[in-house]
Amino acid sequence: MGVEIERKFLLAGDAWRGLGQAVLLRQGYLSSARERVVRVRIEGEQAMLTIKGANVGATRGEWEYPIPLADAAELLDGLCEQPLIEKVRHRIEHAGMVWEVDEFLGANAGLVVAEIELASEDQPFEKPEWIGVEVSGDARYYNANLIRHPFSQW
């Protein structure tokens, strides 16, 4: 079984801008139920199907499989729950770790969050100066919830 251990934070300022590489992501959900999420994502020229289990703390099961780009586009436009999640992801290295800063577009424009994946829940890591309040346990910030309750409606 694959495992994802992830912590999510709001940002404190714009010092992260201009760091790292950026790529456009489009993703949608075939299932956004809390106990099982099935996501289709196009990231640049690659496409993935991801299945995630329910969170237990910052940990949950995760299985990810590459799929043909054309299939992903068809799923996003035809079968996925709407609206889609669109965001620009910035991958920024800091103190030997990779932070993913997501700038949301569309109905979630204005929302910017940073995530870090860990090897264990108690793994120490250094926060960059631009990391703010942790929102890992706040379900409003889960991508699967942002399709039903977009940031623009908060």
For residue 74, which amino acid is it?
A: E
pLDDT in tens, 21-30: 999 999 999 9
* Per-residue model confidence (pLDDT) at position 127: 96
Q: Is residue 17 part of a domain?
A: yes
65 is annotated as an active-site residue: no
pTM recorded for the entire structure: 0.90
Q: Is residue 118 part of a domain?
A: yes
The pair of three-digit structure tokens given for residue 102, joined into one six-digit string: 């997501």
Q: Is residue 53 part of a domain?
A: no
Whether the CB-CB separation of 91 and 20 falls below 8 Å is answered with: yes
Q: Is residue 106 part of a domain?
A: yes
Q: What is the CATH number of the domain that holds 89?
A: 2.40.320.10
Residue whose structure tokens are 């623009």? 152
The pair of three-digit structure tokens given for residue 115, joined into one six-digit string: 């995530």
pLDDT in tens, 67-95: 999 999 999 999 999 899 999 999 999 99
* Per-residue model confidence (pLDDT) at position 58: 74
Q: Is residue 86 part of a domain?
A: yes
Which among 29, 65, 141, 142 is annotated as catalytic? 29
If one counts the domains in the chain, the total is 1
Q: Is residue 76 part of a domain?
A: no
Q: Is residue 46 part of a domain?
A: no
**Domain housing 18:** 5-36+82-153
What is the torsional sign of CA 123, 62, 64, 7?
negative
pLDDT in tens, 14-69: 999 999 999 999 999 999 888 889 999 999 999 999 998 887 777 778 999 999 99
Long-range residue pairs from 114-120, CB within 8 A, at least 24 positions apart, any chain? 114/8, 114/9, 114/10, 114/11, 114/16, 115/6, 115/7, 115/8, 115/9, 116/6, 116/7, 116/9, 117/4, 117/5, 117/6, 118/5, 118/6, 118/7, 118/58, 119/5, 120/5
